Structure 1
Amino acid sequence: MKNVIILICTVLSITAYAQFSPQSKKITEKFFPDSEAILNTTPALQKKRGFTNYKELMAFLNTVKSSHSDKVEISFIGKSQKGKDIPIIKINVPNSKDKIKVWMQGGVHGNEPASTETMLYLIDRLLNDNSHENLMEHLDLAIVPMANIDGYLKNDRYAANGLDLNRDQTKLMAPESIAIKQAYSDFNPDVSVDFHEYRPYRRDFARMGDFGITNMYDVMFLRSSNLNIPENLRVLTERLFIENARKPLDVFGYTHHPYISTTKVDGEIHINQGSISSRSFATNTALTNTISALIEIRGVGLGKTSFKRRIHSGFSIALSFLRTATENIALVKDEIEQAKRQQNDVVVEYKRGIYQDNVSFIDVNSNEYIDINLTIRDAEKATSTLTRKRPKAYIVEANQTDIINKLTILGVDIEYLENEKTYDVETYVIDNYSAKPIRYEKMKLQTVSVDLKKQQLSFPKGTALVYMNQRRANIVPEILEPEAPNSLVSFGVIKTKKGDTLPIYRLLN
């Protein structure tokens, strides 16, 4: 009996780490044959089983540092909840040429190993392949290869406290989220790319087709459609950066599509296309007037099936983004400056466009492509349902240190009153309140509506002023407008009730 228990535990542990793949050999061979273009130069590629562990990660990075000490810097941005130092590698060839700052990261979800391995492979090829020398001359690059170390080491999407780091970008409750966001703000990039993997075999898919279907796309691109992101940056991201990144995928025969996922509405499966939510990294960083994208590679739950193909697709996209950035330095910086000058109204609430369309999948039984007509809930076609005039500034009471600290971590510039001052402001008075019965991400969600009241109020020394004429201004309404779906009020960080006046004010122009 003891031996049987040991055997069962061993099998379970191997399965949890190696991930038995649900994908048939015939689907892999027909649609997702592995790449022969990838060299075995990173830890996971040098072993048959398992993925890069923390010890191997640090050994790899330290070897890179010792071999390229003139252009590589390695430091730690903070610790994981279980005490692991989170490394960041910065690559910068010392010269006086014009450069563009690019941020890349992988491993935000611990069960997406090709995202981390793509980052390691990119580091290796940039530094050891001479064909990239010219690219490197104009690049200031920061990479966090394994953002969620605790989750990664147990092949788990979530951080040690159960939080999803890619749903934590406004409330900032996980130590890893704070460390990554502070490092991002300090680096202040022009371009940001977040690498992920997605699950191609979903519970929703099992009842579709004859015997189930699977997602067919090697890669899905997510460029946020949040309406508070200046339109010129949304257009530049889509029509220059993502359009260029599609080209090498086409050359290698890798399929791609805008990001889609499933959701259930009244028991019916719908397709969410694109994203608007500032709780996730790609939208959050785009709201700081940065060219920002999230890359989803087909891989969660597949173990090492098509592992080199997954790395190759991610690597091809990463290289494309770097080339596009370095070849368009002046354009990117000019567009960011233009975005900083925009003074649009702020969108507080929105609704997605909804329509019917065919979506392509692979039928598991027939081993062929299949089109299924589904309801699409499209972020690209979103429209505003609540818009407010852009204030000159938001005012935050001096005792609201948690709000002020979160804004600071997000890179928002804050000024403080040196003396008492009187302003004409709008106050938020809660006129409708409800609390969700089920917690989300460990937070007690609140839904509110407010009555805006104009008042003349005096504010004491130390009161925080968040002016809306700064680079990261567009993230501020997402945090402070109480009805916004990812605001500190909606997430319950700012606790309130009906009749309360919030400790946040709008300074009128």
Structure 2
Amino acid sequence: MKKTIYTLFILLISLPIAAQLSPQSKNITETFFPDITSVENVTPALKKENGYTNYKELWDYLNDLKTKHSNNIIVAYIGESQNKHKIPMVILSNPNKKEKIRVWMQGGLHGDESASTEGMLYLIYQLLNNEKYKAILDNIELAIVPMANIDGYLKKDRYAANGLDLNRDQTKLMAPESIVLKNAFVTFNPEIAVDFHEFRPFRRDFAKMGDFGLATLYDAMFLNTGNLNVPENLRNFTENVFVKNAMETLKDKGFRTRPYISTADYNGDVIFNEGSLNSRSSVTNYSLTNVIATLLEVRGVGIGKTSFRRRVFITFSVAISYLETAIKNESLVREEIKKAINNQKEDVVVTHKRAVFNDKIQMIDLNTEEIIDVAIRKRTSSKVEPSLVRKRPVAYYLDESQKMLVEKMRVLGVEVHQLEKDEEKMAESYTITYYDKDYKKYEQINQQDVRTEITKEKKTFKKGTYKVMMNQKRANIVIELLEPEASNSFVGFGLLETKKGATLPIYRILN
């Protein structure tokens, strides 16, 4: 009976609509995650006991800072949400002749992760008003989108108005907000990017663990990519310099951190996944364009405004850590990015495989309200092997009919040109040898699972054929988009429909 009650408790507090916390979850939060009183009441949500920053307060707040600090802040309107709300982007910098490191930060991509937005607003205020941080802007040009998913934020829902998850829409680009954000990102052309989120500490999966359910122990978890098409030097530099410094910063302030883990069902068991491989989400998507990228998850979803100042402070502290680390490693940042662009591998990894192994993590036992060690099964992107590898082409060619796919690539910052005259090339073509369509929709599309046979032939490409050269800065994202077996490809997402026996209108040029 007691176990049933605890299981029901976990299920109830896992629901997105849960507005009130149970006495037990409040006790857990107060014991392990006490709020921080030193955070200043300077942003709209911090000034009030209940509720969060609303749309009017957001613009009033930014415009007030713009009036008071006109030399250091630009408030730009980069586009509209589906419900016609203007999406603001703030650019902060001190005017001087120095070539500054460009850093991109965003919050609120999921609308129910309010402290990520407030943390960005708090960061803007501190950089403009606190003498301790003002010198940062001498060396940094910082772009901040504080409320990326305005429609979702205003209804306190994870999703955009059309029901899409904007952090699963980074390659298929089906939501208008995704296109707005990506256009702004590419135009700003950052060297470093951080996407701020919050995670749910009480999950359905955790109800199955321990005697009466478990809860996450950590204040913050860091997600960086293990995708093998991201140059190794960039992956290592991100983890060993930026993530490491930020983790140490939080540890010194008394917070608990670890690499980000999520749960999934694997043959009926709960499996923990650590790290990122998928280009459909921001951190791997950014990294594949040779940007030093991280996604931060702070404990916060489903717990209302509990520990809100703590969550804002953690978001702010990590942002400051990244900015300070960028300044201290300015020359290395540029060297590592240049090395990543210039040293492309001979092979491309179409699909990855993560091994499953045993591990231990610490969690909170909801029965005893104590920290315990928990044995888990885990897959990590730091221990990943290629499962399908192909020789890197010098270019991909697409039939002139594929304008929609080309436009999506251009939004992602990929340079695409058209042939000005007919060309004869030795090319590799894809023929579909296995096809399966998932009739259960994912993110409003029916995914396709394919296998292909590669055929080499001399082919005449007509004037107007699209050409994507693979010696450009953002070339590695192209692999994820055009190799049909890749899980986030245009074929995989059903944007390019096909069938068994078909030849795809995409070609690989090897020399």
TM bracket, shorter-chain basis: over 0.9
Residue in 2 aligned with 1:88?
A: 89
Gap regions ≥5 residues in structure 2: 1-14
Compare 451-460 and 485-494 and name the one that shifted more.
Answer: 451-460
Residue in 2 aligned with 1:429?
A: 431
TM-score, structure 2 normalization: 0.95
8 A Cα contact 1:17 1:50, kept in partner: no
State the distance in 1 between where 2:363 and 2:244 align. Answer: 22
Residue in 2 aligned with 1:167?
A: 168
8 A Cα contact 1:18 1:49, kept in partner: no
State the distance in 2 between where 1:140 and 1:308 align. Answer: 26
The Cα of 1:360 is off from its aligned counterpart by 1.1
Match of 1:454 among 456, 461, 480: 456
Residue in 2 aligned with 1:475?
A: 477
8 A Cα contact 1:428 1:451, kept in partner: yes
State the distance in 1 between where 2:276 and 2:394 align. Answer: 28
Residue in 1 aligned with 2:281?
A: 280
**Where does structure 1 differ by over 2 angstroms across 4 or more consecutive aligned residues?**
15-19, 21-26
- Work out whether 1:225 is the aligned partner of 2:226: yes
- Work out whether 1:363 is the aligned partner of 2:354: no
Residue in 1 aligned with 2:409?
A: 407
State the distance in 2 between where 1:256 and 1:136 align. Answer: 28
- Work out whether 1:208 is the aligned partner of 2:203: no
Where 1:474 maps in the other structure, the secondary structure is helix
Residue in 1 aligned with 2:30?
A: 29
State the distance in 1 between where 2:16 and 2:70 align. Answer: 37
Q: What's the CA shift string for 1:191-222, capped at 9, x where partnerless?
A: 00000000000011123222211000000000
The amino acid that maps onto 2:21 is S
Residue in 2 aligned with 1:12?
A: none
Residue in 2 aligned with 1:316?
A: 317
8 A Cα contact 1:346 1:389, kept in partner: yes
The Cα of 1:328 is off from its aligned counterpart by 1.4
Q: How does 1:253-292 map to 2 (within 5 A)?
A: 253-292=254-293
Q: What's the CA shift string for 1:83-130, capped at 9, x where partnerless?
A: 111111111211011310000000000000001001000000000101
Residue in 2 aligned with 1:238?
A: 239
RMSD of aligned residue pairs (Cα, Å): 1.3
8 A Cα contact 1:17 1:154, kept in partner: no
The Cα of 1:25 is off from its aligned counterpart by 3.5
Q: How does 1:89-108 map to 2 (within 5 A)?
A: 89-108=90-109
TM-score, structure 1 normalization: 0.96
State the distance in 2 between where 1:39 and 1:18 align. Answer: 28
8 A Cα contact 2:107 2:197, kept in partner: yes
State the distance in 2 between where 1:24 and 1:156 align. Answer: 21
8 A Cα contact 2:72 2:92, kept in partner: yes
Residue in 1 aligned with 2:253?
A: 252
The amino acid that maps onto 1:193 is V
**Cα 1:17/1:62, change in 2 over 3 Å:** farther
Residue in 2 aligned with 1:4?
A: none
State the distance in 2 between where 1:44 and 1:166 align. Answer: 24
Residue in 2 aligned with 1:76?
A: 77
Where 1:24 maps in the other structure, the secondary structure is helix
State the distance in 2 between where 1:229 and 1:150 align. Answer: 32
Where 2:298 maps in the other structure, the secondary structure is strand
**Cα 1:16/1:486, change in 2 over 3 Å:** closer
Gap regions ≥5 residues in structure 1: 1-14
Match of 2:501 among 484, 487, 499: 499
The Cα of 1:17 is off from its aligned counterpart by 8.1
Where 1:140 maps in the other structure, the secondary structure is strand
Residue in 2 aligned with 1:194?
A: 195
State the distance in 2 between where 1:263 and 1:463 align. Answer: 42
- The aligned length equals 495
The Cα of 1:393 is off from its aligned counterpart by 0.6
